Structure 1
Protein backbone atom coordinates (compact mmCIF):
# COMPACT_ATOMS: atom_id res chain seq x y z
CA UNK A 1 0.00 0.00 0.00
CA UNK A 2 0.99 3.63 -0.26
CA UNK A 3 0.22 7.12 0.93
CA UNK A 4 -2.34 9.23 -0.88
CA UNK A 5 -1.62 12.14 -3.18
CA UNK A 6 -0.14 14.96 -1.09
CA UNK A 7 -2.83 16.92 0.75
CA UNK A 8 -5.61 14.44 -0.10
CA UNK A 9 -7.56 12.38 2.44
CA UNK A 10 -7.94 8.62 2.14
CA UNK A 11 -11.65 8.75 2.98
CA UNK A 12 -14.49 10.75 1.43
CA UNK A 13 -18.23 11.08 1.97
CA UNK A 14 -20.47 10.92 -1.11
CA UNK A 15 -24.27 10.73 -1.18
CA UNK A 16 -24.36 10.15 2.56
CA UNK A 17 -21.94 7.21 2.53
CA UNK A 18 -18.24 7.09 3.44
CA UNK A 19 -15.66 5.45 1.22
CA UNK A 20 -12.00 4.61 1.68
CA UNK A 21 -9.75 5.27 -1.32
CA UNK A 22 -6.92 2.77 -0.88
CA UNK A 23 -3.81 3.29 -3.03
CA UNK A 24 -1.89 0.25 -4.27
CA UNK A 25 1.77 1.07 -4.80
CA UNK A 26 3.45 -0.85 -7.63
CA UNK A 27 6.57 -0.90 -9.70
CA UNK A 28 6.58 1.11 -12.90
CA UNK A 29 4.63 -0.60 -15.68
CA UNK A 30 6.80 -1.06 -18.74
CA UNK A 31 6.00 -1.74 -22.41
CA UNK A 32 5.75 -5.48 -22.82
CA UNK A 33 4.30 -6.04 -19.34
CA UNK A 34 1.23 -8.25 -19.14
CA UNK A 35 -1.77 -6.61 -17.47
CA UNK A 36 -3.14 -9.92 -16.18
CA UNK A 37 0.14 -10.73 -14.44
CA UNK A 38 0.32 -7.21 -13.04
CA UNK A 39 -3.19 -7.44 -11.57
CA UNK A 40 -2.45 -10.84 -10.07
CA UNK A 41 0.79 -9.57 -8.54
CA UNK A 42 -0.57 -6.45 -6.90
CA UNK A 43 -4.36 -6.63 -6.58
CA UNK A 44 -5.49 -10.19 -5.91
CA UNK A 45 -4.35 -10.27 -2.29
CA UNK A 46 -5.96 -6.95 -1.34
CA UNK A 47 -9.30 -6.80 -3.18
CA UNK A 48 -12.25 -7.99 -1.07
CA UNK A 49 -15.88 -8.83 -1.76
CA UNK A 50 -17.80 -5.59 -2.32
CA UNK A 51 -14.74 -3.55 -3.32
CA UNK A 52 -14.23 -1.60 -6.50
CA UNK A 53 -10.81 -1.89 -8.12
CA UNK A 54 -9.93 1.08 -10.29
CA UNK A 55 -7.14 0.87 -12.83
CA UNK A 56 -5.59 3.93 -14.41
CA UNK A 57 -6.04 4.15 -18.15
CA UNK A 58 -2.32 4.75 -18.61
CA UNK A 59 -1.17 1.31 -17.46
CA UNK A 60 -3.86 -0.36 -19.55
CA UNK A 61 -2.66 1.52 -22.63
CA UNK A 62 1.01 0.79 -21.92
CA UNK A 63 0.37 -2.96 -21.63
CA UNK A 64 -1.55 -2.75 -24.92
CA UNK A 65 1.52 -1.33 -26.69
CA UNK A 66 0.01 2.16 -26.97
CA UNK A 67 3.01 4.07 -25.61
CA UNK A 68 5.44 5.80 -27.99
CA UNK A 69 8.74 7.50 -27.28
CA UNK A 70 8.95 11.02 -28.71
CA UNK A 71 11.69 10.07 -31.15
CA UNK A 72 9.36 7.47 -32.70
CA UNK A 73 6.80 10.13 -33.63
CA UNK A 74 7.36 12.33 -36.67
CA UNK A 75 4.77 15.12 -36.60
CA UNK A 76 3.41 16.35 -39.92
CA UNK A 77 3.24 20.05 -40.68
CA UNK A 78 -0.45 20.18 -39.77
CA UNK A 79 0.27 18.77 -36.30
CA UNK A 80 2.90 21.43 -35.70
CA UNK A 81 0.50 24.16 -36.79
CA UNK A 82 -2.51 23.01 -34.76
CA UNK A 83 -0.54 22.33 -31.57
CA UNK A 84 0.40 26.03 -31.36
CA UNK A 85 -3.23 26.92 -30.63
CA UNK A 86 -3.86 24.41 -27.83
CA UNK A 87 -3.78 25.81 -24.31
CA UNK A 88 -1.35 23.97 -22.06
CA UNK A 89 -2.44 23.45 -18.47
CA UNK A 90 -0.69 22.80 -15.16
CA UNK A 91 -1.96 19.20 -15.00
CA UNK A 92 -0.98 18.04 -18.49
CA UNK A 93 0.28 19.10 -21.86
CA UNK A 94 -2.70 17.68 -23.73
CA UNK A 95 -2.35 18.22 -27.47
CA UNK A 96 -0.21 21.29 -27.00
CA UNK A 97 2.89 19.77 -28.59
CA UNK A 98 3.40 18.50 -32.14
CA UNK A 99 3.90 14.88 -31.08
CA UNK A 100 0.65 14.61 -29.12
CA UNK A 101 -1.27 16.41 -31.85
CA UNK A 102 0.18 14.04 -34.43
CA UNK A 103 -1.10 11.08 -32.44
CA UNK A 104 -4.53 12.72 -32.17
CA UNK A 105 -4.63 13.07 -35.95
CA UNK A 106 -3.81 9.38 -36.27
CA UNK A 107 -6.25 8.24 -33.57
CA UNK A 108 -9.23 10.44 -34.40
CA UNK A 109 -8.70 11.13 -38.08
CA UNK A 110 -7.72 14.41 -39.71
CA UNK A 111 -11.30 15.49 -40.59
CA UNK A 112 -12.49 15.20 -37.00
CA UNK A 113 -9.51 17.10 -35.59
CA UNK A 114 -9.94 19.85 -38.19
CA UNK A 115 -13.64 20.10 -37.34
CA UNK A 116 -12.81 20.28 -33.63
CA UNK A 117 -10.27 23.02 -34.29
CA UNK A 118 -12.75 25.01 -36.40
CA UNK A 119 -15.55 24.74 -33.83
CA UNK A 120 -13.16 25.70 -31.04
CA UNK A 121 -11.89 28.74 -32.93
CA UNK A 122 -15.44 30.03 -33.36
CA UNK A 123 -16.73 29.33 -29.85
CA UNK A 124 -13.67 30.86 -28.19
CA UNK A 125 -14.74 34.15 -29.74
CA UNK A 126 -17.86 33.89 -27.56
CA UNK A 127 -15.96 33.00 -24.41
CA UNK A 128 -16.52 29.25 -24.50
CA UNK A 129 -13.74 26.78 -23.83
CA UNK A 130 -13.39 23.01 -24.07
CA UNK A 131 -15.18 22.57 -27.37
CA UNK A 132 -12.10 21.20 -29.10
CA UNK A 133 -12.04 18.13 -26.87
CA UNK A 134 -15.82 17.78 -26.85
CA UNK A 135 -15.82 17.52 -30.65
CA UNK A 136 -12.59 15.53 -30.96
CA UNK A 137 -13.85 12.96 -28.45
CA UNK A 138 -12.43 10.81 -25.68
CA UNK A 139 -9.59 9.43 -27.82
CA UNK A 140 -8.14 12.93 -28.06
CA UNK A 141 -8.80 13.69 -24.37
CA UNK A 142 -7.07 10.48 -23.31
CA UNK A 143 -3.72 11.20 -24.96
CA UNK A 144 -1.02 11.84 -22.34
CA UNK A 145 2.12 13.74 -23.20
CA UNK A 146 5.31 14.04 -21.14
CA UNK A 147 5.36 16.36 -18.13
CA UNK A 148 7.95 17.26 -15.49
CA UNK A 149 6.35 15.01 -12.85
CA UNK A 150 5.94 11.96 -15.12
CA UNK A 151 7.87 8.86 -14.06
CA UNK A 152 10.60 7.76 -16.53
CA UNK A 153 10.53 6.46 -19.22
CA UNK A 154 7.16 8.19 -19.76
CA UNK A 155 8.65 11.65 -19.23
CA UNK A 156 9.74 11.30 -22.87
CA UNK A 157 6.73 9.43 -24.20
CA UNK A 158 3.22 9.89 -25.55
CA UNK A 159 0.66 7.42 -24.22
CA UNK A 160 -2.64 6.97 -26.02
CA UNK A 161 -5.92 6.10 -24.38
CA UNK A 162 -6.60 2.40 -23.84
CA UNK A 163 -8.35 0.29 -26.45
CA UNK A 164 -11.69 -1.34 -25.49
CA UNK A 165 -11.65 -0.22 -21.83
CA UNK A 166 -15.03 -1.76 -21.02
CA UNK A 167 -13.86 -5.17 -22.20
CA UNK A 168 -10.67 -4.71 -20.18
CA UNK A 169 -12.69 -3.93 -17.03
CA UNK A 170 -14.82 -7.05 -17.49
CA UNK A 171 -11.75 -9.19 -18.08
CA UNK A 172 -9.97 -7.86 -15.00
CA UNK A 173 -13.11 -8.53 -12.96
CA UNK A 174 -12.94 -12.18 -14.04
CA UNK A 175 -9.40 -12.42 -12.65
CA UNK A 176 -10.16 -11.21 -9.14
CA UNK A 177 -11.86 -14.28 -7.68
CA UNK A 178 -14.14 -12.13 -5.50
CA UNK A 179 -17.33 -10.17 -6.08
CA UNK A 180 -15.86 -6.80 -6.94
CA UNK A 181 -16.46 -4.15 -9.57
CA UNK A 182 -13.73 -2.81 -11.86
CA UNK A 183 -13.28 0.52 -13.62
CA UNK A 184 -10.68 1.89 -16.01
CA UNK A 185 -10.33 5.56 -15.05
CA UNK A 186 -8.75 8.77 -16.25
CA UNK A 187 -8.40 10.98 -13.16
CA UNK A 188 -6.44 14.20 -12.74
CA UNK A 189 -6.47 17.31 -10.58
CA UNK A 190 -9.39 18.88 -12.47
CA UNK A 191 -11.73 15.91 -12.45
CA UNK A 192 -12.03 12.58 -14.17
CA UNK A 193 -13.73 10.21 -16.54
CA UNK A 194 -14.65 6.55 -16.38
CA UNK A 195 -13.49 5.08 -19.69
CA UNK A 196 -14.93 1.63 -19.11
CA UNK A 197 -16.31 -0.33 -16.18
CA UNK A 198 -18.51 -3.12 -14.89
CA UNK A 199 -20.79 -0.51 -13.26
CA UNK A 200 -24.07 0.94 -14.42
CA UNK A 201 -24.30 4.63 -15.29
CA UNK A 202 -25.30 5.62 -11.75
CA UNK A 203 -22.34 3.71 -10.35
CA UNK A 204 -19.96 5.42 -12.75
CA UNK A 205 -21.32 8.84 -11.77
CA UNK A 206 -20.84 8.01 -8.09
CA UNK A 207 -17.28 6.78 -8.74
CA UNK A 208 -16.37 10.05 -10.44
CA UNK A 209 -17.60 11.90 -7.34
CA UNK A 210 -15.58 9.60 -5.08
CA UNK A 211 -12.36 10.12 -7.05
CA UNK A 212 -12.80 13.68 -8.32
CA UNK A 213 -10.13 15.15 -6.01
CA UNK A 214 -7.49 12.82 -7.51
CA UNK A 215 -6.58 11.02 -4.28
CA UNK A 216 -3.82 8.87 -5.80
CA UNK A 217 -1.94 11.27 -8.09
CA UNK A 218 -0.12 10.41 -11.32
CA UNK A 219 3.53 11.00 -10.49
CA UNK A 220 5.98 9.86 -7.82
CA UNK A 221 3.18 8.20 -5.86
CA UNK A 222 3.44 5.24 -8.28
CA UNK A 223 -0.10 4.12 -7.53
CA UNK A 224 -1.73 3.07 -10.82
CA UNK A 225 -4.22 0.84 -9.00
CA UNK A 226 -6.59 1.65 -6.18
CA UNK A 227 -9.53 0.30 -4.23
CA UNK A 228 -12.77 2.03 -3.27
CA UNK A 229 -14.24 0.39 -0.18
CA UNK A 230 -17.39 1.35 1.74
CA UNK A 231 -16.60 2.12 5.39
Structure 2
Protein backbone atom coordinates (compact mmCIF):
# COMPACT_ATOMS: atom_id res chain seq x y z
CA UNK A 1 0.00 0.00 0.00
CA UNK A 2 2.83 2.39 0.76
CA UNK A 3 4.59 1.84 -2.56
CA UNK A 4 1.91 0.77 -5.00
CA UNK A 5 -1.31 1.93 -3.41
CA UNK A 6 -3.41 4.77 -4.67
CA UNK A 7 -2.91 8.26 -3.33
CA UNK A 8 -4.33 8.41 0.16
CA UNK A 9 -5.93 11.57 1.51
CA UNK A 10 -6.81 12.68 5.02
CA UNK A 11 -10.16 11.15 5.96
CA UNK A 12 -9.65 8.02 3.85
CA UNK A 13 -9.95 4.56 5.35
CA UNK A 14 -8.04 1.57 4.03
CA UNK A 15 -10.26 -1.49 4.39
CA UNK A 16 -8.58 -4.87 4.78
CA UNK A 17 -10.28 -8.23 4.39
CA UNK A 18 -10.29 -10.12 7.69
CA UNK A 19 -9.18 -13.26 5.85
CA UNK A 20 -6.05 -11.56 4.53
CA UNK A 21 -5.30 -9.99 7.91
CA UNK A 22 -5.54 -13.43 9.52
CA UNK A 23 -3.31 -14.98 6.85
CA UNK A 24 -0.65 -12.28 7.08
CA UNK A 25 -0.53 -12.38 10.88
CA UNK A 26 -0.43 -16.20 10.99
CA UNK A 27 -3.72 -16.54 12.90
CA UNK A 28 -5.24 -19.25 10.73
CA UNK A 29 -5.88 -22.75 12.07
CA UNK A 30 -5.13 -25.98 10.18
CA UNK A 31 -8.36 -27.69 9.11
CA UNK A 32 -7.62 -31.18 10.36
CA UNK A 33 -10.44 -33.56 9.37
CA UNK A 34 -8.85 -36.43 11.31
CA UNK A 35 -9.72 -34.88 14.68
CA UNK A 36 -13.40 -34.24 13.92
CA UNK A 37 -15.53 -36.09 16.46
CA UNK A 38 -18.81 -37.90 15.92
CA UNK A 39 -21.02 -35.17 17.40
CA UNK A 40 -19.61 -32.56 15.00
CA UNK A 41 -20.24 -34.89 12.04
CA UNK A 42 -23.78 -35.53 13.25
CA UNK A 43 -24.64 -31.88 13.98
CA UNK A 44 -23.32 -30.57 10.67
CA UNK A 45 -25.84 -32.78 8.81
CA UNK A 46 -28.64 -30.51 10.04
CA UNK A 47 -27.09 -27.26 8.83
CA UNK A 48 -28.83 -25.71 5.84
CA UNK A 49 -26.07 -23.83 4.06
CA UNK A 50 -26.62 -20.88 1.77
CA UNK A 51 -26.31 -21.63 -1.94
CA UNK A 52 -22.69 -20.46 -2.27
CA UNK A 53 -21.34 -21.44 1.15
CA UNK A 54 -21.13 -24.62 3.18
CA UNK A 55 -20.81 -22.84 6.51
CA UNK A 56 -21.10 -25.15 9.49
CA UNK A 57 -22.15 -28.01 7.20
CA UNK A 58 -18.41 -28.72 7.08
CA UNK A 59 -17.58 -31.05 9.98
CA UNK A 60 -14.20 -29.42 10.62
CA UNK A 61 -15.89 -26.04 11.15
CA UNK A 62 -18.51 -27.53 13.45
CA UNK A 63 -15.72 -29.16 15.45
CA UNK A 64 -14.00 -25.79 15.83
CA UNK A 65 -17.25 -24.28 17.11
CA UNK A 66 -17.65 -27.12 19.63
CA UNK A 67 -14.03 -26.72 20.76
CA UNK A 68 -14.37 -22.95 21.05
CA UNK A 69 -17.81 -22.57 22.61
CA UNK A 70 -18.11 -25.87 24.45
CA UNK A 71 -20.52 -28.74 23.97
CA UNK A 72 -23.25 -27.42 26.31
CA UNK A 73 -23.63 -24.18 24.37
CA UNK A 74 -23.49 -25.87 20.96
CA UNK A 75 -26.02 -28.50 22.04
CA UNK A 76 -28.29 -25.74 23.41
CA UNK A 77 -27.95 -23.91 20.09
CA UNK A 78 -28.82 -27.09 18.18
CA UNK A 79 -31.86 -27.62 20.42
CA UNK A 80 -32.97 -24.02 19.80
CA UNK A 81 -32.71 -24.59 16.06
CA UNK A 82 -34.61 -27.88 16.28
CA UNK A 83 -37.42 -26.22 18.24
CA UNK A 84 -37.73 -23.06 16.14
CA UNK A 85 -37.13 -24.31 12.59
CA UNK A 86 -40.49 -26.15 12.30
CA UNK A 87 -42.19 -22.79 12.91
CA UNK A 88 -40.25 -21.16 10.08
CA UNK A 89 -37.89 -19.34 12.41
CA UNK A 90 -34.41 -19.60 10.97
CA UNK A 91 -31.11 -18.81 12.64
CA UNK A 92 -31.91 -20.17 16.09
CA UNK A 93 -28.59 -21.97 16.24
CA UNK A 94 -26.61 -18.81 15.54
CA UNK A 95 -28.63 -16.71 17.98
CA UNK A 96 -27.73 -19.05 20.83
CA UNK A 97 -24.22 -19.98 19.68
CA UNK A 98 -23.26 -16.37 18.98
CA UNK A 99 -20.96 -14.64 16.53
CA UNK A 100 -18.09 -17.15 16.72
CA UNK A 101 -20.30 -19.77 15.06
CA UNK A 102 -21.42 -17.34 12.38
CA UNK A 103 -18.00 -15.88 11.68
CA UNK A 104 -15.79 -18.96 11.26
CA UNK A 105 -14.56 -19.04 7.67
CA UNK A 106 -12.36 -21.16 5.42
CA UNK A 107 -12.30 -24.81 4.52
CA UNK A 108 -12.80 -24.20 0.81
CA UNK A 109 -10.48 -23.59 -2.15
CA UNK A 110 -7.94 -22.17 -2.28
CA UNK A 111 -7.75 -22.44 1.52
CA UNK A 112 -9.42 -25.81 2.08
CA UNK A 113 -6.59 -26.70 4.47
CA UNK A 114 -7.19 -23.67 6.73
CA UNK A 115 -9.85 -22.26 9.02
CA UNK A 116 -10.16 -18.53 9.59
CA UNK A 117 -11.51 -17.90 13.08
CA UNK A 118 -12.93 -14.46 13.82
CA UNK A 119 -10.14 -12.01 14.61
CA UNK A 120 -9.98 -11.10 18.30
CA UNK A 121 -11.29 -7.51 18.47
CA UNK A 122 -8.47 -6.23 20.70
CA UNK A 123 -5.79 -7.78 18.47
CA UNK A 124 -7.52 -6.54 15.31
CA UNK A 125 -7.77 -3.02 16.75
CA UNK A 126 -4.08 -3.08 17.65
CA UNK A 127 -3.22 -4.13 14.08
CA UNK A 128 -5.45 -1.37 12.67
CA UNK A 129 -3.68 1.25 14.80
CA UNK A 130 -0.26 -0.06 13.77
CA UNK A 131 -1.16 0.04 10.06
CA UNK A 132 -2.84 3.44 10.39
CA UNK A 133 0.38 4.89 11.80
CA UNK A 134 2.30 3.60 8.77
CA UNK A 135 -0.29 4.51 6.14
CA UNK A 136 -1.27 7.83 7.73
CA UNK A 137 -4.99 7.17 7.17
CA UNK A 138 -7.66 5.21 9.01
CA UNK A 139 -7.66 1.42 8.75
CA UNK A 140 -10.47 -1.09 9.24
CA UNK A 141 -10.50 -4.88 9.22
CA UNK A 142 -13.78 -6.18 7.79
CA UNK A 143 -15.58 -9.44 7.15
CA UNK A 144 -18.03 -8.62 4.36
CA UNK A 145 -19.93 -11.00 2.09
CA UNK A 146 -22.98 -10.92 -0.15
CA UNK A 147 -25.29 -11.25 2.88
CA UNK A 148 -23.89 -8.45 5.01
CA UNK A 149 -20.88 -8.22 7.20
CA UNK A 150 -19.01 -7.04 10.22
CA UNK A 151 -16.48 -4.36 10.90
CA UNK A 152 -14.16 -6.40 13.09
CA UNK A 153 -12.04 -3.42 14.16
CA UNK A 154 -10.97 0.03 13.08
CA UNK A 155 -8.34 2.55 14.00
CA UNK A 156 -9.18 5.80 15.77
CA UNK A 157 -8.92 7.78 12.52
CA UNK A 158 -11.10 5.44 10.44
CA UNK A 159 -14.52 6.36 9.14
CA UNK A 160 -17.44 5.46 11.44
CA UNK A 161 -18.63 1.85 11.39
CA UNK A 162 -22.02 2.83 9.95
CA UNK A 163 -20.37 4.72 7.07
CA UNK A 164 -18.07 1.79 6.30
CA UNK A 165 -20.93 -0.73 6.36
CA UNK A 166 -22.91 1.52 4.00
CA UNK A 167 -19.99 1.84 1.59
CA UNK A 168 -19.34 -1.91 1.66
CA UNK A 169 -22.99 -3.05 1.64
CA UNK A 170 -22.91 -4.29 -1.96
CA UNK A 171 -19.65 -6.19 -1.28
CA UNK A 172 -17.33 -4.26 -3.64
CA UNK A 173 -14.37 -6.38 -2.48
CA UNK A 174 -16.18 -9.51 -3.78
CA UNK A 175 -15.42 -13.10 -2.80
CA UNK A 176 -12.97 -15.87 -3.60
CA UNK A 177 -10.93 -15.62 -6.80
CA UNK A 178 -12.64 -12.44 -7.98
CA UNK A 179 -12.06 -10.64 -4.70
CA UNK A 180 -9.54 -8.07 -3.59
CA UNK A 181 -8.05 -8.04 -0.11
CA UNK A 182 -7.88 -4.24 0.14
CA UNK A 183 -10.10 -1.29 -0.63
CA UNK A 184 -10.02 2.43 -0.05
CA UNK A 185 -13.12 4.17 1.26
CA UNK A 186 -13.06 7.91 0.69
CA UNK A 187 -15.67 10.18 2.23
CA UNK A 188 -17.72 12.28 -0.16
CA UNK A 189 -17.44 15.93 0.76
Runs of 5+ consecutive residues of structure 2 not aligned to the other structure: none
Superposed structure 1 runs of 4+ greater than 4 Å apart? 39-43
Aligned to 1:123: 84
Deviations 1:142-187 (A, max 9, x none): 211334xx4x2x14432222233233222322222x2x22211111
Deviations 1:41-84 (A, max 9, x none): 665x6433210111111112223433244346520111111111
Contact kept in structure 1, 2:13 and 2:185, CA below 8 Å: yes
* Residue 55 of structure 2 is aligned to residue 98 of structure 1: no
User: Which structure's residues are more often helix, by fraction?
Assistant: 2
Aligned to 1:63: 24
* Residue 123 of structure 2 is aligned to residue 162 of structure 1: no
Aligned to 1:207: 164
SS of the aligned residue for 1:55 comes to: strand
Aligned to 1:31: none
Runs of 5+ consecutive residues of structure 1 not aligned to the other structure: 1-38
Contact kept in structure 1, 2:32 and 2:60, CA below 8 Å: no
Count, aligned residues: 185
Contact kept in structure 1, 2:77 and 2:97, CA below 8 Å: yes
Contact kept in structure 2, 1:91 and 1:188, CA below 8 Å: no
Aligned to 2:173: 216
Aligned to 2:45: 84
Structure number with greater CO (CA < 8 Å, separation at least 6) is: 1
CA distance in structure 1 between the partners assigned to 2:57 and 2:176 by the alignment: 20
Q: Tell me how far 1:195 sits from its aligned partner.
A: 1.4
CA distance in structure 1 between the partners assigned to 2:153 and 2:116 by the alignment: 17
CA distance in structure 2 between the partners assigned to 1:175 and 1:73 by the alignment: 42
Which range moves more in the overlay, 211-220 or 55-64? 55-64
TM-score for both structures, normalised by structure 1: 0.70
Contact kept in structure 1, 2:31 and 2:112, CA below 8 Å: no
